[in-house]
Structure formats: structure tokens, C-alpha cells
């Protein structure tokens, strides 16, 4: 019996190794998106719809939180391996001694719009009129909150002279505006188009294009990104490269296809009941997406300047911008995609 057992040992070890490898290969990569239905984060769902994650041998699970700050918390807690949210979190977190980095830069403009309730439009004609008003943001500590605070300071307001109210995005944002809980607020497509179509809101500040973004924020503003904890990137370089490959391939698809062709690949419920409106909104802001996933020159400095203008945790701190993003993986991904 002992001889027979020893003879079977190599086969048993081989089986165990195979099973271990299979389990490892099937491990999910969880990515939290700061509102997966938002057009600013479209590349995440589009990559899944196109099958690009599977092409890389990845089992990616996309999760969603309405506010980027909540997605950030999930990343730091280790509940997810990556976040599709705004790059500015990498700078904000470094000021607090925590290190995450943008792996793929998805956009060069925020894609956000400050809407004002139509019934408030006569009294709120610019950000200088925000004093004493309640402004909707997705969450406290979110990128919409960061941008709102910066714009307020730039227009002469002091902290505490307006109220930032977290109202989420989509239907919860719409309800807050319609019910008068907020006087104005920052949101994205397709929520913007939905409120303009019903006549409940008007555009106050538009950050959907590069040109307008430079006027309001002082330069190119890298916004949506795939970011991950530096410690994870260093210990999972293969997975990180595969994610970069999938996202860069998706960005190339976006830049080479029409808004209608892109919309056709998205789930029908992302249209919010109006596909034509969704396509029109995407056509108007599609240029904000990068074509190669690279961080734009000078972009990190603009974001740092914006945060330092109002944030006590960032102002006066030595921020190493080189540690807030990496071009290594997108450089390799673009070489692969070009073959």
C-alpha cells in the first residue's frame, strides 16, 4: 500500500498545482466605479461590453458607488483592487500619507456641469452668487466637492459662506434639485441632459470640454482615471498591465468610433430612457477622453493648484506628483495595441 501511495504522489502533486493555478486565475479583480452609469466613466463599462477584460484573461467585476470618495474608501480598505474615479484623489491622499496612482488616464477634462435650478437662475448668475446657497455634490470629499470649493474660492467666497450638500447622482440629484433641497449642483451626463430637457435646470458652469475647462480651472485637468494603491501595483504588475491593455484598447475604440456606435455597445438602461439624448450628450463631450491613456503634460500641476487653493490638507504640503501616476503600463499597452 505504501509503494502504491508513493507512486501516486507525483500525480497528486500535479493535480494540486493545477487546481491552485486555476483558483488563482479565476480570482476576481474588483473595480469600484464612482457611478458606473455616468458618461465620464464610460470606458469602464465599455471595456466590459467589448470583452476586452476577458481578452486579457481577467475576471473583472465592476462595482458602483455614486460618489468617488466612497470608492476611494473601498480601495483603501482593500475591498476592491482598483477605482475608476478622479485623479485628484491621488494628490489628496498623498497629502494624508496614503499612496495611490493613476494607471490609465481616461480623460483630460472633468465632464462636470454646474447646474442651477431654473427658479433660481435669476438670482444665481455666476459662482459669485453662491453665498448663502445650498449646492449639490455627489459626496463630501468627492471630486465634485473639490471643484465646487475651488470655483467658490476663485469667485471670492470663503469656506462656510455656502453649504455643500451630498445628494449623489442621477435620480437622487434630480430629486434634490426638483424638490428645492439644493439651489444648484454639480453633476454629469446623462443627468445634465435630463434636467435640461425637462426645463428644471440651466447650465451655469460647463466643464465638459477642454476649452471651457482651461478657462475655469486654469489648464488641462486630468480627471477620470483608473487608479490603484501603489503597493498593489508593485505586487501585481502582471494584472496591472492587463488592465492597462484593456483600458487603452477601449480608449482607442472611443476615439475611432462615433457616439452612436459607442452607445450601441452600452446597456440600454444607461440611456435613462432616451437613447437619442444619450448619443447627443456623448457626441458633445467625447473629445474629453484621451486616446492613449497617457497623463497630459502639465495636468498634475493644474490639479495640485486647484486643490491647494482651498484644501488645508494639501496647501503647503510637499506633494511628489511623480508618485501620483505612472506612464509605464500605458506605454507598454500602446506598443501592444499598435502591433
For residue range 150-172, what is the model confidence (pLDDT) as tens digits?
A: 999 999 999 889 999 999 999 99
Mean pLDDT of all residues in 2-22: 43
Listed in sequence order, the residues at least 6 apart from 96 whose beta carbon sits closer than 8 Å to its beta carbon are: 313
Confidence of residue 14 (pLDDT cuts 50, 70, 90): very low
Confidence of residue 69 (pLDDT cuts 50, 70, 90): low
Interatomic CA distance for residues 101 and 109, integer angstroms? 18
Phi, psi (degrees; rounded to nearest 5) at 60: -100, 130
Q: pTM for the full model?
A: 0.89
Q: How much is the mean pLDDT over the chain?
A: 91
Interatomic CA distance for residues 116 and 182, integer angstroms? 9
Integer angstrom CA distances of residue 334 from 239, 240, 247, 251, 327 = 16, 14, 10, 11, 11
Q: What is the pLDDT of residue 27?
A: 67
Confidence of residue 1 (pLDDT cuts 50, 70, 90): very low
Mean pLDDT of all residues in 94-121: 97
pLDDT at 10 over 50: no
Q: Higher-confidence residue: 3 or 99?
A: 99
Q: Helices 191-198 and 171-178 sit at what angle, rounded to 10 degrees?
A: 30
pLDDT tens for 51-61 read 999 999 999 99
pLDDT tens for 251-309 read 999 999 999 999 999 999 999 999 999 999 999 999 999 999 999 999 999 999 999 99
Amino acid at each position: 500500500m505504501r509503494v502504491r501511495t508513493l507512486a501516486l504522489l507525483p500525480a497528486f502533486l500535479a493535480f494540486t498545482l493545477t487546481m491552485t493555478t486555476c483558483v488563482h486565475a479565476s480570482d476576481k479583480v474588483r473595480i469600484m466605479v464612482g457611478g458606473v452609469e455616468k458618461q465620464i466613466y464610460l470606458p469602464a463599462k465599455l471595456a466590459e461590453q467589448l470583452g476586452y477584460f476577458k481578452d486579457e484573461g481577467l475576471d473583472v467585476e465592476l462595482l458602483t458607488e455614486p460618489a468617488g470618495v466612497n470608492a476611494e474608501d473601498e480601495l483603501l480598505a482593500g475591498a476592491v483592487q482598483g477605482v475608476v474615479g478622479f485623479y485628484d484623489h491621488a494628490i489628496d491622499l498623498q497629502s494624508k500619507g496614503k499612496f495611490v496612482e493613476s494607471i490609465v488616464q481616461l480623460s483630460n477634462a472633468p465632464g462636470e456641469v454646474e447646474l442651477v435650478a431654473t427658479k433660481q437662475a435669476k438670482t444665481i448668475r455666476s459662482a459669485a452668487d453662491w453665498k448663502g446657497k445650498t449646492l449639490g455634490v455627489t459626496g463630501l470629499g468627492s471630486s465634485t466637492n473639490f471643484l465646487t470649493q475651488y470655483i467658490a474660492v476663485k469667485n471670492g467666497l470663503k469656506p462656510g459662506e455656502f453649504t455643500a450638500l451630498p445628494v449623489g447622482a442621477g435620480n437622487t440629484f434630480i430629486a434634490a434639485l426638483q424638490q428645492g433641497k439644493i439651489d444648484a449642483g454639480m453633476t454629469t451626463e446623462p443627468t445634465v441632459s435630463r434636467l435640461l430637457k425637462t426645463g428644471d435646470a440651466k447650465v451655469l458652469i460647463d466643464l465638459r470640454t477642454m476649452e471651457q475647462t482651461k478657462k475655469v480651472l486654469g489648464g488641462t485637468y486630468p480627471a477620470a482615471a483608473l487608479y490603484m494603491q501603489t503597493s498593489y501595483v508593485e505586487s501585481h504588475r502582471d494584472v496591472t498591465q492587463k488592465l492597462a491593455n484593456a483600458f487603452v484598447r477601449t480608449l482607442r475604440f472611443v476615439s475611432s468610433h462615433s457616439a452612436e456606435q459607442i452607445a450601441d455597445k452600452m446597456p440600454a438602461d444607461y440611456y435613462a430612457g432616451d437613447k437619442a439624448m444619450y448619443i447627443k450628450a456623448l457626441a458633445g463631450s467625447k473629445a474629453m477622453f484621451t486616446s492613449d491613456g497617457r497623463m497630459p503634460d502639465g495636468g498634475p500641476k493644474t490639479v495640485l493648484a486647484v486643490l491647494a487653493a482651498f484644501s488645508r490638507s494639501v496647501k503647503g504640503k510637499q506633494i511628489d506628483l511623480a508618485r501620483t501616476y505612472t506612464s509605464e503600463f500605458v506605454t507598454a499597452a500602446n506598443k501592444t495595441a499598435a502591433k
